[in-house]
Amino acid sequence: MDSLLSAADAALRTLSGGAHAARPAPQAPAAVLDAAQRRLSGALMRVNHVGEVCAQALYQAQALTGRSPELRAQMAAAARDEVDHLAWTEQRLAELGDRPSHLNPLWYAGAFGIGLLAGRVSDRVSLGFVVETERQVEEHLAGHLERLPRDDLPSRAIVEQMKADEARHAHHAEQAGAAQLPPPVRLLMRAAAKVMTTTAHYV
């Protein structure tokens, strides 16, 4: 019951915009962006914010279904890093005069269901899901670093730190004994991520 209440509280904080970072946001000198640059940065940071909403859902679900205390603790620790990312991207969206996705409750529910499913199979599959998710997120963030305006140093600094954190999460999951997911599952994950990121860019 305590775990369920904790998961419900995390969901409310994630979806209400009440996330508070434990670490200060990466800092970089601000530059004046024109309207087109602000729109692009806002859209990309909204997509990144959606990714962090989904990360909260995934890690909370996998912590609930983890069979070993070690796995549950690892998922909880990764979720705390993702809270920082959630708060940083939310703050940056406000600075850019933009907003989070209107579909965040839908993204959260879908990701929570996927996390429950992975966790119910086995701890090794759950860890394998973390590895594949984080590897795909790394690629996604690398693409955003290529697309973000060169002068938007604050957004770029946040994305760089997020990318480093995601790589660390994947490495820890591999060390903990992650199973390699079969190619069809990895392709399905990529397709689902493509739908989410394309939609969140605008909505």
29 Cβ neighbours under 8 A, 6+ residues apart: 153
Is 73 part of a structural domain of the chain? Answer: yes
DSSP letters along 26-74, please? Answer: P--------HHHHHHHHHHHHHHHHHHHHHHHHHHHHHHH-SSHHHHHH
Residue 1 forms part of a structural domain:
no
Residues of the domain holding 166? 42-200
Give the distance from CA 96 to its chain's centroid.
20
Whether residue 117 lies inside any domain: the answer is: yes
Nearest to 45 by CA among 129, 196, 156, 193: 156
SS3 call for 140: helix
Between 90 and 116, the higher pLDDT residue? 90
- The arithmetic mean of pLDDT across residues 25-40, rounded, is 94
For the whole model, what pTM was predicted?
A: 0.91
Tell me phi and psi for residue 67, to 5 degrees: -85, -30
Q: Is residue 20 part of a domain?
A: no
Inside any domain, residue 18: no
State the pLDDT at residue 119. Answer: 84
Average pLDDT, the chain: 90
| Residue 154 maps to a domain | yes
DSSP code, position 100: -
Residue 158 has pLDDT above 90, yes or no: yes
Q: What is the C-alpha separation between 127 and 109, in angstroms, rounded? A: 20
pLDDT at 14: 86
23 part of a folded domain? no
As for how many domains the chain has, the answer is 1
Q: Is residue 25 part of a domain?
A: no
By the 8 A CB rule, do 118 and 192 touch?
no
Provide the residue type at 150 as one letter.
Answer: R
Backbone conformation region of residue 17, classed left if phi is above 0, alpha if psi is from -120 to 50, else beta: left
Question: The CATH number of the domain where 49 resides is what?
Answer: 1.20.1260.10
**CA distance readout (Å), 33 to 86, 97, 103, 152, 175:** 23, 12, 27, 7, 42
Res. 16: pLDDT tops 90? no
Q: What percent of the chain has pLDDT over 70?
A: 97
